[in-house]
Structure 1
């Protein structure tokens, strides 16, 4: 027998260290070639580290949350063959994927992870439930934990069929099918006292998000501006275009119209399409409009980038937004797809509330926030009429952007949205 030492691979672009986010194996597990061993986190994306060999895990090189240097020992695997020590970098990392969730209507703001390519075998449950210690935290994605909470299932009682006993959505369904759900408990149990606590280590993507948000609020001088917009006309146009071209070109949401409005408005307000290097004290205004579209995933908020929005049609923008959102939610977005934005668009979809205060995506100087559409009575030419209204809640870096310019910029977007023909008049 021999020992195969797998070292932390060079993920590229000058990255010297990465954070070990999660193990999918433990000491004593038998692994096969291409099986995912661990998730690691760069400053932008989560990636899977697969095994290049068959064998038995004999040592792990770190703990979740630990920052590891490229080239350090990641894992040691006992393999058949000569007894010499073999070393290798892990196979080229691939985008990490979460297990598929139950079908759900998706918005830019909220979704369950999409199904991975290819059929997934049905979970193999060796029993209706498994006993764990009260303080033992089973392996499961955030989406599975929320699903279990919604179903009233104690996750520690569910047998996991994923790698290293990871609990999948299918395992929850199998648990329910065997009649072990807490939903079958007496109604009085719903009013029982609870004394349990859950301690969640802030690691991986959540730690990166926390660091970026803290950095943004400490370094930039945020101010927000809110404007009400009548979206009745553009919603009518969107419905008409979907009815006429939806089957052949795909359905349009409001987002590609907003991207187009940004592109047109930025022609007169180039100071908004900029990055500010506060250390060098240099503002860089860009001609290209690379729109970051804030997208919620199971591992946290990600901002994939629609590049060269100024050169895209409505349907081209819509297709790219959909592709990037799906890539972000399933962990397949590349580093390039998650960096390089010049201005960000953020939306919580139907959950958008009335007003929000978006945090800047540094080093950008502007972020446009979209709130939900509601029908309200409005007075137009002395008549009370029902209109579809929406607020834009946007934030700016006051070190670079003056309040008057911010207001004029949002008013320009408002004019374009309320008179949608002007979006396409050159």
Structure 2
């Protein structure tokens, strides 16, 4: 029997190390040739390592979240024959075959020179969550003290917890209310006569509202969660964006009553995928309106290379669409959004969102956006301050639609109060490149399109 040392191969140009995202084997497992060993995430991709030999796993290089240098031993496998242990210190395993390394997600900027500027990457599949919840390992417990190793301290009885036996004066109704709230009446200071009243309970609750008092309930256990894989990438990229980009936010209110009516008319009598066309949501209208305006505001559809001091304005709109997945936030990209109609946009939104969630999105579909739209749908809140998808310079976030009374001037010039559907749209911009005047002007021009949906549909 011999040992085969499988070293982490060179899995990408310029890659010096990779993070262990998930193990598919453990010590003692039998693995077949081409069997799955581990998922490794680099700055560019998540790849699946497969065994070049058959045998029994006798060593692994670490745990999920650990970073391994290229060329370092990843797995040691006991094999029939001599193995490769002899002289293995001075050689690296050959690069895996193309069908062995299964690329899942690649995150890179359009110029492929600054991978750290990408917003997100994805794990091999949604089944392999990138945030691995695993309790911190406890240190080995000390050996119990033998009975003969007695001492005066060991013989001391453990004191019982002190409890208050003082008689508390209170009416049955007050006692019942205190029990329902989980309040120990001995902790409540009565205002007068030494008798606890409802007002004293109210004062106790008010005084302790900041956290000193907690009603009785089920207490969960503390847990530490390692931030690894996609969640770590998100954390690093969001921190870099906020650290390097001076954000400013602009929020404007839009009357979307007419737009919602037009959307309902276009969807009327049309089920999902009827005639090959999906039902329309608000997003295709918003994206179409944005694409119509960006030629007038080229500084919003741009990348800023702060190291080179160069702003690249893009003629095409490659629109990033923030999507929540089981592993974390991802940003699939609608290529050449300006060339698609409402139904094509709706179909592409659905396709990309599903691909991001199930892990089937291609690397080219998750990089290269020039401006991003982020929406939480019905949970969109009143206003948001989204973080810019670096190296982009702007991100747009529609919020929740609400109904409110408004003064509306009729054709006769008389103002009347009507129930209208209103929505706030938030923008975050890079103040190094975009001025507040530009953002405000863009928002006002966007209002003209949103509140007159015929202009959105016009060629």
Normalising by the residue count of structure 2, what TM-score does the alignment of the two structures yield? 0.68
Indicate the residue corresponding to 1:168 in structure 2. Answer: none
Indicate the residue corresponding to 2:37 in structure 1. Answer: 37
Q: Which whole-Å CA distance do the structure 2 matches of 1:347 and 1:257 have between them?
A: 13
Indicate the residue corresponding to 2:104 in structure 1. Answer: 95
User: CA-atom RMSD, angstroms?
Assistant: 2.9
- Give, in angstroms, the shift of residue 370 of structure 1: 1.4
- Give, in angstroms, the shift of residue 115 of structure 1: 8.4
What whole-Å deviation, never above 9, does each CA across 1:355-410 have from its counterpart, x for those lacking one? 11111111111000111112222221122222221111110011111101101112
Partner SS, residue 396 of structure 1: strand
Indicate the residue corresponding to 2:436 in structure 1. Answer: 403
More helix per residue: 1
Indicate the residue corresponding to 1:84 in structure 2. Answer: 83
Answer whether contact 1:253 1:318 (CA < 8 A) is retained: yes
Map 1:5-20 onto structure 2 (within 5 A). 5-12=5-12, 14-20=14-20
Q: Which whole-Å CA distance do the structure 2 matches of 1:143 and 1:276 have between them?
A: 31
Any gaps of 5 or more consecutive residues in structure 2?
Answer: 86-92, 106-123, 136-181, 183-214, 410-414
When residues 361 and 44 of structure 1 are mapped into structure 2, their CA distance, relative to the original with a 3 A threshold, is: farther
Q: Which whole-Å CA distance do the structure 2 matches of 1:208 and 1:195 have between them?
A: 28
328-337 or 256-265, which deviates more: 328-337
Q: Which whole-Å CA distance do the structure 2 matches of 1:10 and 1:332 have between them?
A: 24
* Structure 2 residue 380 is matched with structure 1 residue 352: yes
* Structure 2 residue 329 is matched with structure 1 residue 301: yes
Answer whether contact 1:5 1:88 (CA < 8 A) is retained: no
Indicate the residue corresponding to 2:72 in structure 1. Answer: 72
When residues 57 and 341 of structure 1 are mapped into structure 2, their CA distance, relative to the original with a 3 A threshold, is: same
- Give, in angstroms, the shift of residue 275 of structure 1: 0.6
Q: Which whole-Å CA distance do the structure 1 matches of 2:347 and 2:330 have between them?
A: 18
Match of 2:394 among 348, 362, 366: 366
Q: Which whole-Å CA distance do the structure 2 matches of 1:17 and 1:336 have between them?
A: 22
Answer whether contact 1:368 1:393 (CA < 8 A) is retained: yes
What whole-Å deviation, never above 9, does each CA across 1:275-311 have from its counterpart, x for those lacking one? 1111111111110111111111122111111111112
Q: Which whole-Å CA distance do the structure 2 matches of 1:195 and 1:204 have between them?
A: 26
Q: Which whole-Å CA distance do the structure 2 matches of 1:37 and 1:354 have between them?
A: 47
Partner SS, residue 322 of structure 1: helix
* Structure 2 residue 419 is matched with structure 1 residue 391: no
Partner SS, residue 269 of structure 1: coil
Normalising by the residue count of structure 1, what TM-score does the alignment of the two structures yield? 0.73
Q: Which whole-Å CA distance do the structure 2 matches of 1:252 and 1:308 have between them?
A: 19
Indicate the residue corresponding to 1:217 in structure 2. Answer: 242
Indicate the residue corresponding to 1:102 in structure 2. Answer: none
